[in-house]
């Protein structure tokens, strides 16, 4: 089964107007769009409807992490918005993951449910501050195994962990990779970053890209160049 567009453009904007202006300059044949906490808080479900009306599938990146009933209710509400993908924190534990999965399984149009492992802004020192004296890759592996055991469709991870996760969990387990930067681009606040080609070679399915496209003088040209640089999807 085709994965569809493998590039996900992060709409990291404070309001609907610039997000919609950028969407008008992109092509849904080449990408999906990610709406995160800041933009969704500012613009709400109406923005999702307008993006979907332009033909875009939307990854609602709200990283739910709460008691099981509350997380399930949030996932249910997100699924009713018709989003293509949504996510929760794997560190919410097995009961929360089970509740979230049951909520999306009951949706009339089931979105992909992805679990966040370790944020790509975090290094070992960051994990140590919260009592986890492990390398990020170790914690990613633990949380990915937990997610897989509870029927989650895949995880958000760095491409540096993607190869091991692909071996451990097989082709059907979706790997969503932020921290993607074309060669030579500024890494900004990301720490564990890789190029698009390297991420796909490592086993990533979907690549989240922000400023290399959103801050480009010609966003469509930047998107088209990125899409053209990717290897063909295996048949």
119 is in an annotated binding site: no
* Beta-sheet pairing, 7-10 with 206-209: parallel
62 is in an annotated binding site: yes
- Give the residue numbers marked as catalytic: 61, 63, 66
187 is in an annotated binding site: no
Q: Residue 9: its pLDDT value, please? A: 97
Q: Residue 53: its pLDDT value, please? A: 98
Q: Residue 235: its pLDDT value, please? A: 42
120 is in an annotated binding site: yes
67 is in an annotated binding site: yes
User: Structure pTM?
Assistant: 0.91
10-residue stretch averages of pLDDT, the chain, 235 residues long: 88 97 96 98 98 98 98 98 98 98 96 93 88 91 98 92 95 92 56 75 93 93 89 61
68 is in an annotated binding site: yes
Domains of the chain are 7-229 (3.20.20.70)
């Amino acid at each position: 089964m085709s994965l569809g567009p493998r590039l996900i453009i992060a709409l990291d904007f404070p309001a609907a107007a610039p997000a919609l202006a950028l969407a008008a300059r992109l092509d849904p044949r080449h990408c999906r769009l990610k709406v995160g906490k800041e933009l969704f808080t500012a613009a709400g479900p109406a923005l999702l409807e307008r993006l979907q009306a332009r033909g875009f599938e939307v990854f609602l990146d709200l990283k739910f992490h709460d008691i099981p009933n509350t997380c399930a209710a949030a996932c249910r509400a997100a699924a009713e918005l018709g989003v293509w993908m949504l996510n929760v924190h794997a560190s919410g534990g097995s009961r929360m993951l089970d509740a979230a999965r049951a909520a999306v399984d009951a949706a009339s149009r089931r979105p992909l449910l992805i679990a966040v492992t370790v944020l790509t802004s975090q290094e070992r020192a960051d994990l140590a501050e919260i009592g986890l004296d492990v390398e990020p890759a170790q914690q990613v592996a633990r949380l990915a195994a937990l997610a897989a055991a509870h029927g989650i469709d895949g995880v958000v991870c760095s491409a540096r962990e993607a190869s091991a996760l692909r071996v451990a969990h097989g082709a059907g387990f979706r790997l969503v990779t932020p921290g993607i930067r074309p060669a030579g681009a500024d890494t900004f606040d990301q720490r564990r970053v890789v190029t698009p080609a390297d991420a796909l070679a490592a086993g990533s399915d979907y690549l989240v890209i922000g400023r290399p496209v959103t801050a480009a003088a010609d966003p469509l040209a930047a998107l088209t160049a990125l899409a053209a640089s990717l290897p063909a999807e295996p048949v």
